[in-house]
Amino acid sequence: MKTHITLLLLAGLTLASCSRYYVKKGDAYYKTMQYNKAIDNYTKSLGQKTSDEVKIKLADSYRLNNDYKNAEKWYAEVVAIPGVEPANLFYYAKVLMNNGNYKEAKTWFQNYLKVKNSDPVALTLAASCDSINKFYSDSTRYALKTVDIPEVTTAFSQVIFADGIVFAADKQTFSSAQKQTGWTGRSYLDLYFSKKNDDGTWAAPEPLKGEVNGIYHEGPAVFSKEGTVVYFTRSNYSGSKKLKKNDKDESNLKLFRAELKNGMWTNLEELPFNSNEYSCGHPALSQDGKTLYFISDMPGGMGGTDLYKVSCTMNKDSVLEWSAPENLGAAINTAGNEMFPYLHKDGTFYFSSDAHNTLGGLDIFSSTFNGKSWSVPENLNYPINSSKDDFAFVLNDDDRTGYISSNRNELDKIYEIRMDLKLILKGQVTVKGSNEVLSDAIVEVRNNKDSLIRVLTVDEEGKYAMKLKEGVVYKVQAIMDGYLKPEVVTVSTENKKKSETFVVNFQLEKLQIDKPIVLENIYYDLDKWKIRKDAALELDKFITLLNNNPQISVELSSHTDARADDRYNQVLSEKRAKAAVEYLIKKGIDPNRLKWKGYGESALVNSCGNGVNCKEEEHQQNRRTEFKVTKINQLAGTK
């Protein structure tokens, strides 16, 4: 019996010793951000002995390694630990968002906010969980296709270069001779070029030649417009085979510049605003190459990583001089992380953020600078953005195709994007005043040069629809025999960035001899008959109607209310009607098509006659200008 108990005790001590061994190794890897190796050791330790501290570090390691499924599993246990740090509630909410569990994510953001009630990032992300449907409002705007590049495990942060793309990538390691990073367990990142073949496939990637790639990470890059200068991100090891670290045992990122000489990237130069104490990376260039945008977690920022800019000029000794880094400000930067900037040729600034209103993780946003300030960043929505990390947006010169990077399918991949706007014109044709459907009407669609593009026949409900092209100004008009042609409606698809449906409804006036039709909003000053500016605007619309319907002759009439001498009202109305006709003639309407008549107070539309006490609105109904068709003329060339 004693022997049996002794064996059990020895086994327990052995298991505890093994668990401590794996925890110690895991902690060493965790401290040096070798999360892949930390996960392996922490998992082994928990197989032998439970530990709240190890659970927290394991959840962190999965999150930092972008394994959100396992991160969610472990954070679910972590948040149940009594007295756990509130930050873990926030991380749990974020990975729930990453996994598309928005309802549950909001609950945990709210739990976190009970402790940290002024955290702006948590407040923003909780609000995003409430309005997630708005991100899917234009899901057909872009089509995405995976860029299948041979040989690489992951690929991201692509930039357009020559007849292909340059991107950061790692390869699966097959032997101990290949240097690998403990963070992911794969090779260190290098910069590669891949050519796009004529059939749409991609050639095997080639590392950039020269001094750019080294033994540790090389990451996001940008090229000058001429393709002869590259700015790129690199681990802090220049001139050394060992990573340089600061007092906190952190190795930061730095920005470098190189030039293309005889097919080789050479003249490697570290940019002067780098530091061993903070990171600088993710470069982007203005079209003229004089402004460099980048990210940094330097002191004085607003959050994790902020977006900055510097300008460079060439001095008389042909040496580049750099300005001090300038933070892009609160419109762009948040208390979270802003990353992967890109400035398009049209001046639109794209970047990724995990703390503006997002679908989860990093989302891509756009903003423009008006010379003084940045516009409110606009989320590019689904399918550009997803619940995972989406970043590195770039466009080709056609403004319709480009690329993004995303880990929406677990690993970082590059996706080709194609803008496919859905621009629709639709409407209904009815009778004015009754909404009776005009099922025999047609709708003419012309371009801005008045060339007929299409004639649409409405359906039995009087409805019509057609697809529109981008960058065109359309003129739309409904036509129906026996009805007045209405005003032409202009619809423009120029500079459209989103899908849009243009609804143009027409209400047609029946063409009847001697039927009075009120011209709305024709007003005159008291006791005056001069055409006011507001009345002129309405008469201009009437001119359009006359020009659209050249076969009609009309009588223009003016009416007053009953609050004055009958004779006075008669004379005043005649002067007003005559003034309106003279205005039409002055604007080019044939006088032979026009008559005028003043009716004074003889044709009231209600009971507000002499001596009757009425409201002002009722008197206004009587003070009106009308027209009626007096004749339908035979036009030349018609029967």
The domain ranges of the chain are: 2-135, 148-419, 423-508, 517-632
Give me the pLDDT at residue 166, please: 96
Q: Say what the pTM is.
A: 0.72
Which amino acid type is present at position 107?
Answer: T
Mean pLDDT by 10 residues, the chain (639 residues): 42 55 85 85 80 90 91 94 93 94 95 92 93 85 91 92 93 50 69 93 93 89 95 84 70 92 94 93 94 96 95 82 95 96 95 94 95 94 94 93 93 92 93 89 91 93 94 93 88 87 93 80 73 82 84 87 87 88 90 89 89 86 83 66
The CATH code that applies to domain 2-135 is 1.25.40.10
Three-state DSSP class for residue 266: strand
635: DSSP letter: P
The end-to-end CA distance of the chain, in Å, is: 122
- The DSSP element (H or E) to which 349 belongs, if any, is strand 349-353
Distance of CA 47 to the CA centre of its chain: 46
Distance from C-alpha of 362 to C-alpha of 179, rounded to nearest angstrom: 29
Placement of tokens 């969610």 in the chain:
72
Helix ranges, 32-101 (H): 35-46, 52-64, 68-78, 87-98
- CB contact at 8 A, 27 and 57: yes
What class, spelled out in words, does domain 148-419 have in CATH? mainly beta
The CATH code that applies to domain 423-508 is 2.60.40.1120
Distance from C-alpha of 209 to C-alpha of 230, rounded to nearest angstrom: 12
C-alpha distance from residue 488 to each of 148, 302, 361 (Å): 50, 52, 47
- Using DSSP bridges, classify how beta strands 552-559 and 594-600 pair: parallel, antiparallel or unpaired: parallel
What class, spelled out in words, does domain 517-632 have in CATH? alpha beta
Distance from C-alpha of 360 to C-alpha of 524, rounded to nearest angstrom: 60
Give me the pLDDT at residue 248, please: 67
591: DSSP letter: G
- Name the burial class of residue 461, with classes exposed (0-12), middle (13-18) and buried (19+) by CB atoms within 10 angstroms of its CB: exposed
C-alpha distance from residue 143 to each of 421, 430, 496 (Å): 10, 38, 17
- Name the burial class of residue 189, with classes exposed (0-12), middle (13-18) and buried (19+) by CB atoms within 10 angstroms of its CB: buried
DSSP structure string for 130-185: HTGGGGGTTTTSEEEEE---TT-SEEEEEEEETTEEEEEEE----STTS-B-TTTS
Placement of tokens 């989320």 in the chain:
379
Q: Which residues contact 360 (CB under 8 A, 6 or more apart)?
A: 94, 97, 98, 99, 100, 102, 105, 386, 387, 388
